[in-house]
Every structure is written in C-alpha cells, then in structure tokens.
Amino acid sequence: MTVLSDIYYVCWREMKRFWQHKPRILVVVFQPLVWLVLMGNMMSGLTSNPFASRMLGVERYIDFMTPGVMIMTALFGGIFSGVSLLWDRRIGFLSKMLVAPVSRVAIPVGKMLATAMQGAIQVAVIALVALFLGVKFKTGLGGFLCLLFIAALFCFAMAGVSLSVAIWVKTIEGLHPILNFFTMPMVFSSNAIFPEAAMPSWLRVVSAWNPLSYAVTAMRALIVEGWAWGKILSGLMVTLLFAFAMVLVATCQFKRSLG
C-alpha cells in the first residue's frame, strides 16, 4: 500500500505540473488534431481507387488513419516522458525525492502512469474530432473505452522506454536525438499509416515484430470492423506484455543508476 501511495503522489505531482502549464495543454490538444485533419484528408484520394480501397479495408482513408493518429499520439506522448526525469535531476528535485521516504519503484512508475493519463486525454480529444469528421465507431462506447485503454497502455510502455534511455543518457541534449532515431522507424515499420499489404515482404516481417502494429490493429478493429476478438485480444496481450516489460526495465535501470 505504501508503494501504491507513493506512485499516486508522484503521478499527482506530474499531472499537477501538466495542468498548470497552459501552453503545453494547447499543444497536447491541437497537435493531434492537425495530424488528423491534414493526414486524414491528404490521402483521401487513395480510396477512390478500388484496389487501394480493398487494401485499406475502408471506404474513406480517414477511417483507416484515425487509429494511426491515435497510436502515434500515444507513441510521441510517451516517448518524451524521460525529459521530466532529467529536468527533475537538473533542478535538484530528484535528489529531494531520493532522500525522502519514497519507494524507488514509485518514481518511474508514477511518471509513466501520469504520461499514460495525458496520452488518454489526447486520444479522447482525437476521438471526438473524428466523430465530428464522420468516423463511425462500430463498437460504440464500450469499444471506445477499450480503445482508450489500449492507447493509454501503449503510452505507458513508451514512457518506460523513454525513462530507461533517460536514465542511461542523463542529459536532455543527448536524449532527444536518440528518441527521434528510435520513434520514426517504429512508426514507418508498422501499419499505422499504410496497410501491411502494401509493404515489401521484409518490412512485413519487421511489422510483425513491432508492438505498435498490434496496438493499432486492435484499435482499428474496434473502430472499423467491430468486436473482432482475435485482433483485439492479441493487440491487448502484446501491449500488456510490452508495458510489463518496460516497467521492469525502467525500475531496474533506475535502481541501478542509484547504486
């Protein structure tokens, strides 16, 4: 119970910082909207081709792209979570937490949980805009909540990746290039933007090992296909395993960095 209480307070502190920073809230809300409006409509001509429409499995490209924008939002929202740890180290707040009676596990896990909550807020905003643009959620409110959970869980896992790298790099200047190098191949080797049927065979193999592909496939099924349990459960299980693995890695890295 002490560990859970410590996680709560670390998470609460991160969320309080988030709500107090108004420009950050505006960016968090409007950046994914730009992606959805621009990217969802930029490729709208693809579905005018019957072959491309069959490959995508939708009548409108924005239906295919909406879960892709959601998962990219979760990815980019989570991957920069490590900056908060490095900033706490730079201003001395991390040292204060370490001398306080706070569980060492609670520090990375609390930050990961706060990042997941922020990612869920972004995904919820995207869903509302998508509904306004005519995207239909085949699974209704229950499917939306399941989709939100998968996105938040993936964001949680990516926050663990970011924190693990931040603990190793130890500087904000060194963190950004590594994360940028890591995230873009992860996006373009998945089916977030283009279907796997359009990929060369070697890239399909890479996509099959990419946890982002499983998450976005489950989310796309919830929006476009309905309760396709095979895709939903496989996506949920892979994302859960990914999140669990990153909790272990991030906490072990953090404890090891303290000696």
Q: What is the pLDDT of residues 81-97, one digit of tens each?
A: 888 888 888 888 888 88
- Identify whether the C-beta of residue 71 lies closer than 8 Å to the C-beta of residue 64: no
If pLDDT is split at 50, 70 and 90, which confidence band does 62 have? confident
What range defines the domain where residue 204 resides?
A: 2-257
Contact 135, 29 (CB under 8 A): no
CA geometry: angle 175, 84, 122, nearest 5 deg: 100
For residue 210, give the H/E element and its range: none
Instruction: Specify the amino acid at residue 98.
Output: L
Tens of pLDDT, residues 187-244: 889 988 888 877 888 898 999 999 999 999 999 999 998 899 999 999 999 999 999 9
Per the structure block, which two tokens stand in for 193?
A: 């933007």
Using left for φ > 0, alpha for ψ between -120 and 50, and beta otherwise, residue 227 falls in beta
pLDDT tens, position by position, 24-61: 677 767 776 777 777 666 665 666 666 666 666 777 77
Q: Compute the distance between CA of residue 169 and CA of residue 172 in angstroms, rounded to an integer.
A: 8
- Using alpha carbons, list the distances in angstroms from residue 90 to 94, 101, 148, 163: 8, 21, 33, 15
Instruction: Determine the Cα angle at 188 with ends 184 and 194, to 5°.
Output: 150
Domains: count for the chain = 1
Beta-carbon contacts of 103 under 8 Å, excluding residues fewer than 6 positions away, are 2, 3, 6, 7
> Tell me, what's the pLDDT at 146?
95
Provide the pLDDT for residue 97.
85
pTM for the model stands at 0.90
Work out the end-to-end distance of the chain between its first and last CA atoms, rounded to an integer number of angstroms. Answer: 25
